[in-house]
Amino acid sequence: MTTQSNPNTAADAPVRTSELIYPLDAKPPFGITLLAALQHILAMILGVMTPPVIVATALGAPTSAVAYLVSMSLFFAGLSIIVHATRPFGLIGSGMLNVQATSFAFPATLITLGLAFMQQKGLSWQESLNTLFGVCFVGSIWLVLGSYTVKFLRKVITHTVAGITVFMIGASLIKVGAIEMAGGFASKANGTYGNLDNLFLGGVVILAVVGINRLKNPLFRMCSLVIGMGVGFLVAVAMGKVNWAILSQPRELFILPVPFKFGFFGFDLQAFILLSFIFLVLIIEAIGDITATASISEQPTSGPVFRSRLKGGILCGGVFSALAAIFGCFPQITFAQNNGVIQLSGVASRKVGVFCGALFVLFSIFPVVVVIFELLPRPVLGGALVVLFGTIATSGIRIMSEHGVTRRESIVIAASVGVGMISMLTPEMFNKMPHFFKIFFEAPVVSGGVTAMIVHQILPDAPACIFSEEVFNEECTPLQEFFIPEGDDNGESPPAAKMAATSMAKDKQTS
């Protein structure tokens, strides 16, 4: 940031200048717009294509069905990004360069529910998918209603509850990434699951991602997952692990959206109740993403304009989640990946959003990207997913720590993460429970998140912290205080610790 001073004034006042090269309403040249759009696509394409792949594969859907689901994920991501950027009628969309796609909050729970439908109700994979789409269609009403009740929801789904839920999303999906890294679900049947060459390929991808993140170029770091998969793919080619026969398989030259592709909606009330909590968490996720985009785009983060953007952004998620379910796509919400691209490139122009969305639509209709994705050996994809899902879990930890972890918050975290981990590690212990509660506890995202919400409302607020250098009230001491360095080599307290202790002592004397 630069400042300027006016020599004609008695007191020089700093004037803030923009850090953006192309702000929100700018019209960059075609070349720059295309380059910026490609950067956004590289940062998020793995996140767009992965959810339908892991859900459909887990349910045993054939390759043609997986290809269609991936294309629909790309198609509706593209349409929603364009709507966010253009904000038609001034109602739907944030009016900023927000990207939107299928949320990672759903796959683990959708897999649990889908397998339960197939095992306990005898549904086929098509009928199971139709039921999930029907539940998601009805569940999208929570996003629409949530766009009008944001203030109330933030009191119920706090930062701690949202952080725990995001952590459980990442932690529960790591298992899916590990299965893919070991060879995928199909390898369990043909006996190649866990072969050393599979683990080697996954390890190469993980090491490549870590190595790329050591580079100084931030754009390379942002695309580290895609580059890491590229490195893994080249190694797989050298090892003869790529099935080139995929290229000669008959396939459609165009993939167009077809309403009720696999049949008309089914519905399950218990599944709807379980997924309702995740829809509510998506609202809090969207608030954070849209706020970050507004800040980086140098737009207001409070006041009527911001509230209008927030409402429109969440509403866009609800409308497109309902529309996407009709054509075979899972629920959508804003992504956070593009905020880093805006910050690094200095391009926040809405025009980039239109280009980005248009490219996604083209990729979905002409499924070249889908074919490339199919060529990836499962261990290569699995290695990238392990890192990706680990990153999601880390984001949950960061959200939990944003406002400090007091004794009260630590109890909320301990209880809810404990329940969620039990669901993840030993789901068989709930086999004798009634059907609804069995599914509830087999879905760690739901069981952990709902536990967090309940415990957070039950526990009373912690008393105000009052302590000095001599007095340490452990009943209200934030957890981070236990990790303050004890001192330097001379036994002196660190400057930050001294300042904090002095300030707190003064506050105590004043009160």
Per DSSP, the residues of 335-359 read: -SHHHHHHHHH-B--HHHHHHHHHH
- Closest to 49 measured CA to CA, from 375, 449, 445: 375
- Please give the average pLDDT of every successive group of 10 residues along the chain, which has 511 residues: 44 57 88 85 81 89 89 94 90 90 85 90 92 95 89 76 83 85 82 89 92 80 81 92 81 86 90 89 81 85 86 93 94 79 81 93 85 84 86 81 83 91 85 82 84 86 51 43 42 46 48 45
What's the length of the chain?
A: 511
What's the CA gap between 28 and 25, in Å, rounded?
10
**In sequence order, what DSSP letters do the residues of 157-175 get, joined into one string?**
S-HHHHHHHHHHHHHHHHH
DSSP 463: P
For the chain, the C-alpha Rg in angstroms (whole number) is 24
Q: Six-digit token pair at 454?
A: 């309940």
Euclidean distance between CA atoms 284 and 159, whole angstroms: 8
Taken in order 300, 306, 310, 315, the sign of the CA dihedral is negative
Q: How many CB atoms lie within 10 A of CB 106?
A: 25
Looking at residue 10, its pLDDT comes to 41
Instruction: Determine if residue 268 is left, alpha or beta; phi over 0 gives left, psi from -120 to 50 gives alpha, anything else beta.
Output: beta
Q: What is the pLDDT of residue 462?
A: 60
Please list the alpha-helical segments (H only) found in 297-427. Answer: 303-327, 337-345, 350-365, 368-375, 378-401, 407-425
